[in-house]
A and B are shown apart, each in its own frame.
Chain A
Amino acid sequence: MTVVDPPEQSAGARAAARRERIAGWRVGVLASPAAPVYGALIGVFVLAWVIVTIDGGNFLTVSNIVNMLQRSVALGIVSAGQTVVILLGSLDLSVAQLISLSSLLAASTMDGSMANFLPAVLVVLALGVGVGLVNGLVITKLQVNAFIATLGTALIIQGIIQYRWTGPQGGIPNQFSNDLGYTRFGIIPMSIFLLAAVVVVVWFLLTKTRFGYKVYAVGGSEDVSKLSGVRTHRTIITAHVVCSLTAVITGLFLAARLRAGTPTVGTDGGYDLESIAAVVLGGTALMGGRGGVIGTIGGVFLLAVLDNTFNQLEFNSFLRDVVRGLIIIAAVAVYARRQEKKA
């Protein structure tokens, strides 16, 4: 995409534009915040391929790659939402519990019948909007720090879950489960399309709408945004609603995969802290204002490649956790210098 050159533009300006077009890919791609994670992804991917192949496994097979993609869906969807919130300079620690509650509500509303599919989806979306509103309002109107506000929400939801459910909740109709959880178009699972759809929507919101621009502005500096007339509170609340919506969609998806709603699916997967890790790995600054969902997906894929490699090498799950933790720290340590805001 190039800037349109008005014919009367001076020679100097035209030269500058030309220079920038030529360097465009360099400017646009390499300097983008997502670049390092994709570089790391490629590096890790190659490394993994080599190591797994030496070990005697199959890495670069279609089924393995599809497997890795499949495993990225749940984390990918919720991380997309978390990206929006972190870009704003906020964060959401309630997503794990929300995922669990969403899966439970979906199962109990569908109650075994596909006829209840639409009501179930509506219930779950309403839940997302509601929780997102609560988070946003507590942060803006009650002026409570996002860490505490979403932690509080997480606890509130946790209590509700434990009160009402002690075990898995049946009621997911087989058809729904198969459709969303297990269908494939050729070799590509349906779930990938769900992930792609969510990512595209979030990407679209962030890069094409005024809301997205406001997210970046408020994340960059709330004061500058206010001075320029941005309604910061509205933006914060909307962002939290978006994040909660992705969380409930994740819950819906997981219910399909597991063929039931479960009270612990969110916390078992560590979706709260893992989604934050994926976002930060993807190059989005924890302070906000810079980054994007494309980078986050790179972070999610990176974690999926690591997981897959560990599986293939038969690393026990504990070693996996250790290496994962160290990689997150190391990656951010490398980025931390890039993310230093000009004082």
Chain B
Amino acid sequence: MAEKKLLLQMQGIKKSFVGVEVLHGVDLDLYAGEVHAIVGENGAGKSTLMKTLAGVHPPTEGKILIEGKEVQFAHPAQAQAAGVGIVYQEFNLLPDRNVAENVFVGREPLKRGLVDRRKMERDTAALLEEVGETGFTPRTPVRWLSVAQQQVVEIIKARSLNARILVLDEPTAALAEHEVELLFRLVRRLQELGVGILYISHRLREVFQLSDRITVIKDGGVVKTLKTSECDQRTLVSLMVGRDLDAYFPERGRPEDLGDVRLETRNLNTALLRDVSIKVRAGEIVGLAGLQGSGRTELARAIFGADPIDSGEVLIDGKPVKFRHPRQAVKAGIGFITEDRKAEGLALAQSIADNMMLAVRTVMPARKRRAAGVMSNKELAEVTELKARGPEQEVRFLSGGNQQKVVLSKWLKTKPQILIFDEPTRGIDVGAKAGIHDLIRKLARDGVAVLMISSELPELIGMADRILVMHEGKLAGELPAGASEPEIMELATGAHEEVAA
């Protein structure tokens, strides 16, 4: 093959946020026509790295060179102008406009001062042709397109800006099998056109099918860059994870401490889930692992009554229940600490007190609360080690850790028998993390059945008495306490389903 052009060089990239360094000197390069995969577990720093390239936030230190020339991007538009295109997981499309209108939004071609619709559609058709897309046309309303097709629109939008470097961030996270095949063909077409592609994914099967090189990122730094042909999945997984478990975790529960099965699902089917059956006992912490999109949050929401169930059962204390509204779940003694506290867990303009009281208020009137011995706000603040000026302070002024403690307090007030945690320590500093971990274990010891979803493998391994792993909506397997990170990742990435090459 003729000597390939070096499109991109990222040298010594460091990035800090509010004094905390998240990228510690990353080196990366990309050739024209190459697919360079970037792998690493959730939170390793992949997205942050790509955002420095895309001009969303400039690196604190380090250089970016495009075709040998150093560049500095202060705004995404500058990166676009330099030929860097990025397709995020959340699309930036206008659903009520058609494909051509979306591709050319803000820069519609003009003829004699008016929008040249024909040229716009012709150019869009050409772009679709270029990537071999035949399933829709420039005039199709974006709202009608499937997720996979919308992704194609995002890609040709980037191409229309003459992107020579294309970053795809978890492109197959929301795609079905056959759609993934179409994406692969599209990627190959782009390769033929000389576009360099940075492919972020932790779906290792795809990484091996598509990429020429793989860079493994862990904890904000590059572990290794290798040629795809020179490694296999096992090696890759062991490079991605496998750190020392030197963080302190509270002592795990003993088998004799476990009580009855509090929460059970049988063959649960929803839009994403396939025949999921789990059991959680009183006093137990069951960890739920899996990649983004594997169905963990969907399972929690289905149990909690926030999403409809297609078929299957949820049983509380052995009795089947049908929750049509979260309130019924709350009444039945379930608490759900959601993934995104700002969007789903807190009313940010309200006080700490009001947020703490929100759940218990919906199920128990004031008189009953006093009689039932519900914990006071003050007590909860102390138990969770919340640090705030006072109960009337608005929650939006608190740090992430303290906000999470408010959410926790809200659920503790309802004296739940079952608690579901979705990423309980996301975005929280180390000190607060330990506090929350201790609290969770204490709750379990007091008899609560805990289901803990987490993308942080050390946390899962340290805390859980059992680990369930999900993969593409199904339960991939179960591991005992103290399982190793590679074991978990193998189940989570579907490596166990991999047919030997």
Contact = CB atoms under 8 A, between A and B. Distances in A.
B96 A225 contact: no
Interface in A318-343: 341-342
B140 to A, nearest CB: 8
Interface string A1-28: 0011010011011011100100000010
A13 B106 contact: no
Q: Which of A214, A228, A285 has the most CB of B within 10 A?
A: A228
Contacts of B76: 227
B126 interface: yes
A230 interface: yes
Given A16-B135, A229-B106, A213 B92 contact: no
Given A3-B122, A20-B137, A208-B114, A220 B97 contact: yes
B501 to A, nearest CB: 31
A224 interface: yes
A217 interface: yes
Interface in A265-281: none
Q: Which of A10, A16, A31, A209 has the most CB of B within 10 A?
A: A16
Given A13-B128, A208-B115, A342-B143, A224 B134 contact: no
Given A4-B122, A16-B136, A225-B106, A216 B92 contact: no
B137 A217 contact: no
Contact of A216 (B96, B125, B140): B96
Contacts of B94: 216-217, 220-221, 224, 289
Contacts of A212: 115
Nearest to B95: A342
A240 interface: no
Contact of B141 (A13, A31, A221): A31
A210 B105 CA distance: 9
B108 interface: yes
B408 to A, nearest CB: 27
B184 to A, nearest CB: 17
A213 B96 CA distance: 12
A175 to B, nearest CB: 36
Contacts of B106: 214, 217, 225, 228-230
B153 to A, nearest CB: 12
Contacts of A342: 95, 143
A299 to B, nearest CB: 18
Interface residues of B, number: 35
B77 A6 contact: no
Interface residues of A, number: 35
B335 interface: no
B166 interface: no
Contacts of A213: 101, 105, 108, 115
A259 B107 CA distance: 47
Q: Which of B92, B108, B134 has the most CB of A within 10 A?
A: B134
Which label, helix, strand, loop or mixed, suits the secondary structure of the B interface?
loop
Interface string A48-74: 000000000000000000000000000
A289 B96 contact: yes
Interface in A221-262: 221, 223-225, 227-230
B105 A3 contact: no
Contacts of B114: 208-209
A209 B115 contact: yes
Nearest to A208: B114
A214 B101 CA distance: 10
B137 A224 contact: no
A230 B129 contact: no
Nearest to A5: B125
A10 B126 CA distance: 11
A27 B139 contact: yes
Nearest to B98: A27
B231 interface: no
B374 to A, nearest CB: 34
A277 B427 CA distance: 46
Interface in B73-104: 76-77, 92-97, 101
B137 A210 contact: no
B89 to A, nearest CB: 15
B108 A13 contact: no
A3 B139 contact: yes
B59 to A, nearest CB: 21
Contacts of B110: 210
Contacts of A290: 96
B137 A3 contact: yes
B427 to A, nearest CB: 22
A205 B114 CA distance: 9
Contacts of B141: 31
A231 to B, nearest CB: 9
Nearest to B124: A3
Interface in B114-136: 114-115, 117-118, 121-122, 125-126, 128-129, 132, 134-136
B1 to A, nearest CB: 27
B101 A216 contact: yes
B108 to A, nearest CB: 5
Given A217-B105, A220-B94, A229-B107, A16 B138 contact: no
Nearest to B118: A4
Interface string A99-113: 000000000000000
B95 A341 contact: yes
Nearest to B92: A224
A267 B107 CA distance: 41
Nearest 5 pairs of A and B residues by beta carbon: A12-B134, A220-B94, A290-B96, A228-B106, A230-B106
16 contacts: A3-B137, A6-B125, A10-B132, A16-B137, A27-B139, A209-B114, A210-B110, A220-B95, A220-B96, A221-B92, A223-B92, A224-B92, A224-B94, A227-B76, A290-B96, A342-B95
